[in-house]
Structure 1
Amino acid sequence: MSEQHHEDRELVSPRDRFGERIRTNLSAESIQARIIETELRTLALTFEELSTSAQVPQAAALLLGARRRYVAGEGKAAAYAQLLNADLSSTLSNVFLVDGHALQPLTVLTDVRASDVLIAFSLRRYREETVRLGRLFREAGGQLVVITDSEDAPLAPLATSLIRVRTGSASYADSPTPVAAVCHLLSALTTASAKGARRRLAERDRLVARLGLYSSDPARPDVEEETET
């Protein structure tokens, strides 16, 4: 572990990182340059490590073979969970976001099967809700994919597939860039091998047009209606 990485891991809270990284005497241009440079380095390092690992392809295989796919994360990690859930739902059936509202952890844990997979986003400071859900899901016999920033994370020992991302940053907040990139990578690998993905995407496009969901994509008649006229 590099000295810089060790120092970064010591800065546990956003307050700690703000005091160490943000200098009020720096110009906006200087801060921007530092952040861009660090984000590029962090993303490159994450991809470099993942390219020598089979963890993302393994996670994609678990998702493809699953009966039900659950995605969970709390706090800031909830945004990553929503992102991955949106992408996976486009091409796979039975993808569910455990958000504590529409779908409660209790509901999920009541009926866990060995063919079920939970993708848990668990990043420092490691929200207890996600840790508990992951542990209980694994104890119930489900498969666990953990996306985290450290091999020492609470859920790491329980992971069927552990995807580690680097989150070093020049800002008070840990970098979201590699986490979002891993969401994109995982959903792309899963979709590439998903049966019926093309048909599902085509059907979604047809329904999007019928519902007029996007202002730049006005509702169009579907194929059957065009044939009849």
Structure 2
Amino acid sequence: MDETLKDSKKLISDIQTQYTRLSKGQKLIAQYILNNYDKVAFMTACKLGETVGVSESTVVRFANALGYSGYPKLQAALQELIKNKLTTVQRVEMANDYSDENTILNKILKGDIDNIRETLEEIDGEAFQEAISRLLKARKIYILGMRTSFVVAQYLGFYLGIILDNVHTVRMDMGDAFEQIVRIGEDDVVIAFSFPRYSKKSFQLVKYAKEKGAHVISITDSLFAPIASESDNTLIVKSNMASFVDSLVPAMSVANALAVAVGMKEKEDIKEHFDDLEQMWDKYGMFE
């Protein structure tokens, strides 16, 4: 398991346990983190040192004393710990270094690039292949995502619906979500998207599907995400937050990959389907 995922839940208790063994400067860091861990999660080592009154090297040694290979790993563990606890207001306050429009543009795009890079490096290729295999064998495919995650679910549902004829995207504007999956069974597959702040309804739907014997594929940002505990295979997608707006770009990329991979397995069938679509679009003047 990733060092960040493994350690984030016990980080605060580790700091408390190790406190008496720390140097004077490291104790100052520990005290500050215990009181302000939501702020420290987004501070550089240099900034944390300046705030506390110690050197940057002392901050790095503090991270090492807690068993981390470097400060970035400690910072990532703090981010993992708090990201589902931050309110929208706190996220806005967190973005105080977005000084102008050019800064915002650069930070957001670079953040999305970093999220995609990390996703590519860490995503489980075998889990991805298993997901494709399950989708191709499924009696019915249910795709769900609540709140902003619904955008990605709808996107994937649109493209899988062109390729396959057994896809249902669970919608919030078409009655209760449970009513839409009540017939789910052992031969069905659920693809669930869930990112902080994790929707309780998403977890309830996934838990219900699992109890009915369906195969659950979760696309989320952490093995600590509630839906991951009910999933048969999990695709971890990095979604480090950028203020009050969630970064869903990597999730879109993984959705793209799923749709293309399924499409390539059904290449001959979809070529015929697309030919029919082109004729219909031409007949009814769909495009300029």
The verdict on a shared fold, with TM-score over 0.5 as the criterion, is yes
Q: CA separation in 2, counterparts of 1:74 and 1:86?
A: 16
CA contact (8 A) 2:140 2:187 kept: yes
Larger Rg belongs to: 2
Q: Which range moves more in the overlay, 205-214 or 145-154?
A: 205-214
For residue 132 of structure 1, report the CA deviation from its aligned partner. Answer: 0.8
For residue 77 of structure 1, report the CA deviation from its aligned partner. Answer: 0.8
Decide which structure has greater helix share. Answer: 2
Q: Kindly tell me: are residues 212 and 49 of structure 1, through their superposed partners in 2, closer, same or farther at Cα, counting changes over 3 Å?
A: same
Matched, 1:182 2:254: yes
Task: Find 2:97's aligned residue among 13, 18, 23.
Answer: 23
Q: CA separation in 2, counterparts of 1:95 and 1:32?
A: 36
Q: CA separation in 2, counterparts of 1:169 and 1:128?
A: 19
One-letter amino acid matched to 2:142: Y
For residue 104 of structure 1, report the CA deviation from its aligned partner. Answer: 4.3
Number of corresponding residues? 213
Paired position in structure 2 for 1:4 = 75
For residue 110 of structure 1, report the CA deviation from its aligned partner. Answer: 2.8
Q: TM-score, normalised by structure 2?
A: 0.69
Q: CA separation in 1, counterparts of 2:96 and 2:275?
A: 47
One-letter amino acid matched to 1:202: D
Task: Find 2:215's aligned residue among 123, 138, 143.
Answer: 143
Q: Superposition RMSD on alpha carbons, in Å? A: 1.9
Q: CA separation in 1, counterparts of 2:174 and 2:276?
A: 25
Query: 1:3-33 CA deviation, whole Å, 9 max, x = no partner?
Result: 3323333243332222122336x22212222
Paired position in structure 1 for 2:118 = 45
Matched, 1:209 2:279: no
Kindly report which structure 2 residues correspond to 1:36-185, keeping only aligned pairs within 5 A, or say none.
Answer: 36-50=109-123, 53-102=125-174, 104-185=176-257
Q: TM-score, normalised by structure 1?
A: 0.85
Q: Which runs of no fewer than 5 residues in structure 1 stay unpaired?
A: 217-229
CA contact (8 A) 1:5 1:168 kept: no
Q: Which runs of no fewer than 5 residues in structure 2 stay unpaired?
A: 5-72
Q: Kindly tell me: are residues 142 and 83 of structure 1, through their superposed partners in 2, closer, same or farther at Cα, counting changes over 3 Å?
A: same
Q: Which range moves more in the overlay, 173-182 or 13-22?
A: 13-22
CA contact (8 A) 2:142 2:181 kept: no
Q: CA separation in 1, counterparts of 2:189 and 2:108?
A: 35
Secondary structure, aligned partner of 2:143: strand
Q: CA separation in 1, counterparts of 2:278 and 2:129?
A: 27
Give the % identical residues: 23
Secondary structure, aligned partner of 1:54: helix
Paired position in structure 1 for 2:12 = none
Q: CA separation in 1, counterparts of 2:279 and 2:216?
A: 34
Query: 1:142-194 CA deviation, whole Å, 9 max, x = no partner?
Result: 11111111101111122122111001144332211101111101111111112
CA contact (8 A) 2:119 2:250 kept: yes
